[in-house]
Structure 1
Amino acid sequence: MSETSDIIVIGGGIAGIGAGARMAADASVTVLETEEAIGYHATGRSAAIYIRNYGNDTLRALNAAAEPVFKEPEGISDESLLTPRGLLYVATEEHTGALDKILEGATGMERLDADAAVARVPILRRENIVAAAIEEGAQDIDVDRLLQGFAKMLRHQDGRIVNKAPVTAISRANGVWTLETPQGSFSAPIIVNAAGAWADEVAKLAGVQPLGLTPMRRSAVILPAPEGHDVTRWPLFACAGEGWYAKPDAGKLMVSPADEDPSEPFDAWPDDMVLAEGLHRFEQAVTVPVTRIERSWAGLRSFFPDRTPAVGFAPDAEGFFWLAGQGGYGVQTSPALSALAADLCAGRKSGLAETVVQALAPHRLIKT
Structure 2
Amino acid sequence: MTEAERAAEIVVIGAGIAGASVAAELAAHAPVVLLERESQPGYHSTGRSAAVFAPSYGPAPIRQMTRASKHFFESPPEGFTGTSLFSPRTIMMIAREDQRAALDALTDEVATQTEVRRLRGAELLDHQPLLRAGYASDAMLDMLGQDIDVHALHQGFLRLFRARGGRLVTGAEVTGMDRQGDGWGVSTTQGRFDAPVVVNAAGAWAGVIGELAGAEAIGLTPKRRTAATIADTAAFDTAHLPITIDVEEGFYLKPDAGRLLISPADETPCAPHDVQPEELDIAICADRIMTAFDVEIRRIESKWAGLRSFVADKAPVVGYSATAPGFFWLAGQGGYGIQTSPAMGCYAASAVLGHPLPQHIADEGFDPASVAPQRLRAAA
TM-score (norm. length: structure 2): 0.94
- For residues 294 and 157 of structure 2, the distance between their equivalents in structure 1, rounded to whole angstroms, comes to 42
Question: Per-residue displacement from partner, 1:120-161 (whole Å, max 9, x unpaired)?
Answer: 221211212211111111000111111000000000011011
Q: Distance in 1 between matches of 2:276 and 2:105?
A: 31
User: 2:262 pairs with 255, 258, 263, which one?
Assistant: 255
Q: Please show how residues 198-237 of structure 1 align to structure 2 within 5 Å.
A: 198-237=205-244
Deviates further, 84-93 or 143-152: 84-93
1:176-187 aligned within 5 A? 176-187=183-194
1:359 maps to 2:370? yes
Deviation per residue, 1:266-306 (Å, 9 max, x gap):
11111111221122011011122111100000001000111
5+ unaligned residues in a row in structure 1: which ranges?
none
Per the TM alignment, residue 114 of structure 1 is displaced from its structure 2 partner at its CA by 2.8
Alignment-mate amino acid for residue 171 of structure 2 = K
Cα distance, 1:254 vs structure 2: 0.2
- 1:197 Cα offset (Å): 0.7
Q: Which residue number in structure 2 is paired with residue 56 of structure 1?
A: 59
**Residue among 115, 137, 140 paired with 2:144:** 137
Partner of 2:29: 26
Per the alignment, residue 49 of structure 2 pairs with 46
Give 1:77 shift: 2.7
Structure 1 residues 257 and 35, CA gap change in structure 2 (3 angstroms): same
Aligned residue for 1:242, secondary structure, equals coil
Alpha-carbon distance in 2 for matches of 1:156, 1:147: 14
User: Aligned to 2:94, what secondary structure does the other structure show?
Assistant: strand
Show the counterpart of 2:340: 333
CA distance in 2, matches of 1:301, 1:211: 15
- What displacement does 1:94 show? 2.3
Q: In structure 1, what is the Cα distance between the partners aligned to 2:94 and 2:160?
A: 40
- State the secondary structure of the residue aligned to 2:34: strand
Tell me the equivalent position of 1:101: 105
Confirm or deny that 1:82 pairs with 2:82. no
> Are 1:324 and 2:335 an aligned pair?
no
The corresponding residue for 1:161 is 168
- Select the residue among 2, 5, 10 that pairs with 1:7: 10
CA–CA separation in structure 1 for the residues paired with 2:151 and 2:366:
31
Deviates more, 1:71-80 or 1:266-275: 71-80
Q: Secondary structure at the residue paired with 1:126?
A: coil
Mapping of residues 296-307 of structure 1, within 5 Å: 296-307=303-314
Aligned-pair CA distance for 1:356? 1.8
Deviations 1:279-334 (A, max 9, x none): 20110111221111000000010001111101111111111000000001100111
Aligned residue identity for 1:293:
I
CA-CA distance at 1:102 after TM superposition: 2.0
In terms of mean alpha carbon deviation, does 1-10 or 179-188 score higher? 1-10
Q: Percent identity?
A: 42
**Which among 134, 147, 152 is matched to residue 127 of structure 1?**
134
Q: Report what 1:68 is aligned to.
A: 71
The amino acid across from 2:190 in the alignment is: Q
Deviates more, 1:344-353 or 1:37-46: 344-353
SS of 1:127 mapped into structure 2: coil
Cα RMSD of the aligned pairs, angstroms, is 1.4
Q: Is the 8 A contact 2:216 2:322 kept in 1?
A: no
- Matching residue's letter, 2:205: W
Report deviation, 1:355: 5.2
SS of alignment partner, residue 128 of structure 1: coil
The residue aligned with 1:196 is: 203
Distance in 2 between residues matched to 1:288 and 1:209, nearest whole Å: 47
Aligned partners of 1:202, 1:7: CA distance in 2, in Å?
16
How many Å apart are 1:98 and its aligned residue? 2.1
Alignment size in residue pairs: 368
Deviation at 1:95, TM superposition (A): 1.6
- Code of the residue aligned with 1:55 in structure 2: it is G
TM-score by length of 1: 0.97
Tell me how far 1:31 sits from its aligned partner.
Answer: 0.5
CA contact (8 A) 1:71 1:79 kept: no
Paired amino acid for 2:17: I
* SS of match in other structure, 2:122: helix
**How far does residue 341 in structure 1 lie from its aligned partner after superposition?**
1.2
